[in-house]
């Protein structure tokens, strides 16, 4: 799986959780760029992502991600570690 | 000393002049002077409680360094917990000890034990809920590696006790305020002008709006229990209290932020026009931002994270818990707990009705949607503020019941007529004007709602600015209530 694959899967999760068809993520997207992305929906996104890839984040990992790209890479690293 | 006191009127210009003309040579001198001025400012109330600020300061200063010295996360966590114990220990002992003892005795009696625990006579040290939280934010930020621990004790002590925001906030984050103490401040004319505008506007809101509203509010809340007061008057009392508490606390915040600007510091925005909000969730993003965001980052987020796999409960539990604690933060009284609890419940409802509300929003005109949202939000806010203001839950419930029982009944018992007479008397001389002044405040703040404070004049012709400054000053002199009433939030 590449970063682009994760990104497009992310996009679907975001559209679903935030209930907004118009979301178009890129690697530099941050919470400031998406209207509905607040601290609460952030948790809902995390849960959706954790369930989708069957992984778990720690609280400090969550705080270290500054944008969507870093999150995608974080997931790839976790998936690689699992195999 | 109070911002609206003669002492502060002398204190501020003296400190300002010494700061920029005498101790301006180097950073160390600047910070030492800020520290001395802050301790003097606080000591004016009660110098004994300076020892508590000092205890909180020194313990977090040392714990910060200790956390920075080790890489072992377990040990770092232990130091973090120690900081919680010290700061929350001070807070709980001085603010909540008697409350817990009383409730515990009542509980013991209820289950048949003959308990006779005595309470202590503890005076609540002013500002304790504010500076303990600010100090705590330092240790948490250091623990989270968002901030390097400082070795400069003077700067750190000045950061904890910085007089403009020491007694009632804005509660600053160490990662934004402390670095400002580590750089020498240069005088900035534009910022200082902004600071003065904000101070002037803050005094207008406090002395003219809040303190005049207080005359009515205190009467109505003080007398209703003795007689049948018309529900309409009770409702007016509640609405006036809602205006009072906003003008009082946002006015205080404007003065605090403005004074800090005069000394070259930028504090965070504490109010973002909360009464323009169209949902309770939005009001809490705009009301007392420094504390609501403190609890969001340091309590609500970790709780959300912890409960994240609990489905819907994982959203409700953290929300209700956080807001109940925010309520309790205000004081050791069931009224505050209930106030917070209701807001937590309302926000949970708003959360789960999000999709339904979105559908409705698409079907009806925008203005209808926002005015309906505003009305519902304000309705809830007014009634929860009655609970906030009342001395205890019984009185709060009675007050609310009385509004609905006899909304349009005018029973002229003695007390009632006295209140109405008094109100009328004030109405004739001041009430009509007060109504216009309140209107004036909200109109001005509506015009400047895109800015960080409600009075950011920027006319092209400087003369017009001065016309406004003098008008506000004149309004303060003509209609101000100069009895030096304390700010509501100083008791928290």
* Chain A partners within 8 Å of B301 (Cβ): 39, 43
pLDDT band (50, 70, 90) for residue B18: very high
Pairwise pLDDT comparison (B222 vs B27), residue with the higher score: B27
Q: Is A54 on the interface with B (CB under 8 A)?
A: no
* Chain A partners within 8 Å of B351 (Cβ): 40
* Chain B partners within 8 Å of A59 (Cβ): 302, 305
Please give the structure tokens belonging to residue B261: 């600007």
In the A/B pair of chains, how many CB contacts fall below 8 A?
29
Interface contact flag, B302 A40, Cβ < 8 Å: no
Pairwise pLDDT comparison (A2 vs B414), residue with the higher score: A2
* Chain B partners within 8 Å of A19 (Cβ): 354-355, 358
Evaluate if residue B484 carries a pLDDT over 80.
no
Interface contact flag, A43 B302, Cβ < 8 Å: no
Q: Which of B51, B67, B81 is nearest to B161 (CA)?
A: B51
pLDDT band (50, 70, 90) for residue A1: confident
Q: Which of B177, B159, B202, B185 is nearest to B61 (CA)?
A: B159
Evaluate if residue B12 carries a pLDDT over 90.
yes
Tell me which residue in B300, B308, B358 faces A47 most closely, judged by beta carbons. B308
Chain B, 329-368: which have a CB under 8 Å from a chain A CB?
351, 354-355, 358
Distance between CA atoms of A71 and A3, rounded to whole angstroms?
Answer: 10
Mean pLDDT of B272-291: 94
Question: Which residue in A has a C-alpha nearest to residue B305's C-alpha?
Answer: A43
Please give the structure tokens belonging to residue B198: 């904000």
The dihedral sign for the CA sequence B318, B319, B323, B324: negative
pLDDT at res. B106: 81
* Chain B partners within 8 Å of A50 (Cβ): 308-309
Evaluate if residue B76 carries a pLDDT over 60.
yes
Question: Which residue in B has a C-alpha nearest to residue A63's C-alpha?
Answer: B144
Please give the structure tokens belonging to residue B127: 């500002």
Tell me the per-residue pLDDT of B458-469, one tens digit each, with 9 for 90 and over. 888 888 889 999
Pairwise pLDDT comparison (B115 vs B10), residue with the higher score: B10
Fold of A3-82: 1.10.1200
Evaluate if residue B411 carries a pLDDT over 60.
no
The minimum CA-CA distance between B483 and chain A, rounded to whole Å, is 43
pLDDT band (50, 70, 90) for residue B226: low
Q: Which of B453, B449, B455, B461 is nearest to B476 (CA)?
A: B455
Distance between CA atoms of B308 and B310, rounded to whole angstroms?
Answer: 6
pLDDT at res. B145: 87
ipTM of the complex: 0.82
Q: Is A21 on the interface with B (CB under 8 A)?
A: no
Q: Is A20 on the interface with B (CB under 8 A)?
A: no
Tell me the per-residue pLDDT of B141-164, one tens digit each, with 9 for 90 and over. 999 888 999 999 999 999 999 999
Interface contact flag, A43 B304, Cβ < 8 Å: yes
Interface contact flag, A19 B355, Cβ < 8 Å: yes
Q: Chain-wide mean pLDDT for chain A? A: 84
pLDDT at res. B53: 93
Mean pLDDT of B89-102: 87
Instruction: Work out the burial of residue B428: count CB atoms within 10 Å of its CB; fewer than 13 is exposed, 13-18 middle, 19 or more buried.
Output: exposed
pLDDT at res. A52: 87
Interface contact flag, A40 B355, Cβ < 8 Å: no
pLDDT band (50, 70, 90) for residue B416: low
pLDDT at res. B148: 92
Pairwise pLDDT comparison (B334 vs B405), residue with the higher score: B334
Distance between CA atoms of A66 and B362, rounded to whole angstroms?
Answer: 33
What are the structural domain ranges in chain A?
3-82
pLDDT band (50, 70, 90) for residue B115: low
pLDDT at res. B130: 92
The label of the residue with tokens 């910060």 reads B64
* Chain A partners within 8 Å of B144 (Cβ): 60, 63
pLDDT at res. A60: 78
Evaluate if residue B364 carries a pLDDT over 70.
yes
Mean pLDDT of B348-371: 89
pLDDT at res. B330: 92
The minimum CA-CA distance between A5 and chain B, rounded to whole Å, is 25
How far from B231 is each of B400, B401, B408, CA to CA, in Å? 9, 9, 6
Q: Which of B76, B304, B351 to mutate to test the interface with A (most CBs of A within 10 A)?
A: B304
Give me the active site residues of B, please.
330
Evaluate if residue A3 carries a pLDDT over 60.
yes
Tell me which residue in B305, B309, B314 faces A59 most closely, judged by beta carbons. B305
Q: Which of B308, B314, B317, B347 to mutate to test the interface with A (most CBs of A within 10 A)?
A: B308
Mean pLDDT of B342-366: 90
């Amino acid at each position: 799986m590449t970063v682009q694959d994760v990104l497009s899967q992310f996009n679907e999760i975001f559209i679903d959780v935030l209930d907004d068809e118009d979301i178009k993520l890129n690697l530099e997207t941050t919470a400031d760029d998406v209207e509905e992305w607040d601290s609460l929906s952030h948790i809902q996104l995390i849960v959706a992502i954790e369930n989708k890839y069957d992984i778990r984040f720690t609280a400090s990992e969550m705080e270290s991600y500054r944008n969507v790209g870093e999150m995608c890479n974080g997931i790839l690293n976790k998936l690689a570690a699992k195999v | 000393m109070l911002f609206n006191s003669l002492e502060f009127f002398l204190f501020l210009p003296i400190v300002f002049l010494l700061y920029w003309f005498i101790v301006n040579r180097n950073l160390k001198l600047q910070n030492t002077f800020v520290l001395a001025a802050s301790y003097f400012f606080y000591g004016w109330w009660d110098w004994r409680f300076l020892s508590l600020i000092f205890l909180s300061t020194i313990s977090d200063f040392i714990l910060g360094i200790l956390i920075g010295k080790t890489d072992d996360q377990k040990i770092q966590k232990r130091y973090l917990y120690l900081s919680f114990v010290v700061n929350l220990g001070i807070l709980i002992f001085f603010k909540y000890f008697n409350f817990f003892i009383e409730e515990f005795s009542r509980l013991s009696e209820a289950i048949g034990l003959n308990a006779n625990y005595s309470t202590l006579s503890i005076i609540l040290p002013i500002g304790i809920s504010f500076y303990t939280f600010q100090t705590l934010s330092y240790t948490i930020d250091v623990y989270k590696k968002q901030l390097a621990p400082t070795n400069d004790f003077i700067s750190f002590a000045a950061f904890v006790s910085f007089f403009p925001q020491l007694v009632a906030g804005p509660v600053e984050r160490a990662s934004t305020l402390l670095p400002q103490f580590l750089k020498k401040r240069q005088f900035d004319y534009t910022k200082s002008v902004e600071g003065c505008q904000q101070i002037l506007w803050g005094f207008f809101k406090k002395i003219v709006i809040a303190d005049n509203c207080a005359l009515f509010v205190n009467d109505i809340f003080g007398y209703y229990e003795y007689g049948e007061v018309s529900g309409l008057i009770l409702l007016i009392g509640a609405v006036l209290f809602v205006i009072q508490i906003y003008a009082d606390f946002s006015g205080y915040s404007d003065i605090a932020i403005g004074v800090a600007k005069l000394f070259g510091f930028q504090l965070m925005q504490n109010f973002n026009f909360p009464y323009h909000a169209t949902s309770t969730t939005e009001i809490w993003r705009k009301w007392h931002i420094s504390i609501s965001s403190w609890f969001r980052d340091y309590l609500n987020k970790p709780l959300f994270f912890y409960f994240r796999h609990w489905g819907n409960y994982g959203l409700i539990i953290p929300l209700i818990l956080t807001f109940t604690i925010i309520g309790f933060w205000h004081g050791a009284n069931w009224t505050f707990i209930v106030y917070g609890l209701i807001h937590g419940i309302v926000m949970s409802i708003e959360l789960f009705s999000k999709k339904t509300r979105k559908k409705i929003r698409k079907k009806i005109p925008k203005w209808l949607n926002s005015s309906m949202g505003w009305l519902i939000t304000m309705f809830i806010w007014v009634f929860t503020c009655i609970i906030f203001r009342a001395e205890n839950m019984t009185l709060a419930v009675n007050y609310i019941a009385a509004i609905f029982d006899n909304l349009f009944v005018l029973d002229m018992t003695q007390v009632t007529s006295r209140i109405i007479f008094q109100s009328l008397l004030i109405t004739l001389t001041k009430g009509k004007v007060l109504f216009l002044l309140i209107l004036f405040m909200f109109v001005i703040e509506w015009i400047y709602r895109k800015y960080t404070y409600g009075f950011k004049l920027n006319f092209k012709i400087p003369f017009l600015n001065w016309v406004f400054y003098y008008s506000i000053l004149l309004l303060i002199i003509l209609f101000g209530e100069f009895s030096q009433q304390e700010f509501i939030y100083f008791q928290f």
